[in-house]
Structure 1
Amino acid sequence: MAARNRMPPWHENVRLANGRDILIRPIRPEDAGPMQAAFTLLEPDEIRQRFLHPMKELSAQQAERLTRPDPRRDFALVAAEPLPPGEALVGAVARISIDANGKDAEFAILVSHYVNGMGLGRHLMRRLVRWAKGRKVQRVYGDVLESNLPMQALAASLGFRREPIGQAGLVRVVLDIPPPKPKTPPPPPLMSLPPGA
Structure 2
Amino acid sequence: MTDTDNTLPRAVVEAKDGRRYTLRPIQPSDAPSLMRGYQALSPQERWFRMLHAVPELSEAAAEAFCTPDLTRDFCLVLEGQDELAGEILGGARITGEHNGRDCEFSVSLRPEVRGLGLAQQALRMALQLAAAAGYQRAYGTISRDNRGMINLAVLLGFNIRQDPDDPACVIAEKTLTP
TM-score by length of 1: 0.79
Structure 2, unpaired ranges of 5+:
1-6
Matched, 1:33 2:32: yes
Distance 2:21 2:131 in 1: 25
Deviation per residue, 1:24-53 (Å, 9 max, x gap): 100000000111122222211221111112
SS of match in other structure, 2:69: coil
The answer to whether structure 1 residue 173 and structure 2 residue 172 are counterparts is yes
Which letter maps to 1:51?
M
2:136 corresponds to which of 135, 138, 161: 138
Q: Whole-Å Cα distance in 1 between the matches of residues 10 and 174 of structure 2?
A: 24
Q: 1:188 — aligned with what? A: none
- Equivalenced residue count is 169
By percentage of residues, which structure has more helix?
A: 2
What's 1:191 paired with?
none
Q: Show the counterpart of 1:58.
A: 57
Equivalent in the alignment of 1:81: 80
CA RMSD of aligned residues (A): 1.9
**Structure 2 counterpart of 1:109, from 107, 110, 122:** 107
**Equivalent residue of 1:126, what SS?**
helix
Larger Rg belongs to: 1
Q: Is the 8 A contact 1:23 1:82 kept in 2?
A: no
Deviation at 1:82, TM superposition (A): 5.6
Unmatched tracts of structure 1, length 5 or more: 1-7, 181-197
Q: Please say if residues 21 and 81 of structure 1, whose CA atoms lie closer than 8 Å, have aligned partners that are also in contact.
A: no
Query: What is the distance in 2 between the residues matched to 1:14 and 1:135?
Result: 22
| Alpha-carbon distance between aligned partners in 2 of 1:173 and 1:14, rounded to the nearest angstrom | 25
Q: Distance in 2 between matches of 1:135 and 1:40?
A: 32
Give SS of 2:112's match: coil
Structure number with greater CO (CA < 8 Å, separation at least 6) is 2
2:154 & 2:60 partners in 1: Cα distance?
A: 34
Map 1:62-73; keep pairs closer than 5 Å: 62-73=61-72
TM-score between the two structures when normalised by the length of structure 2: 0.87
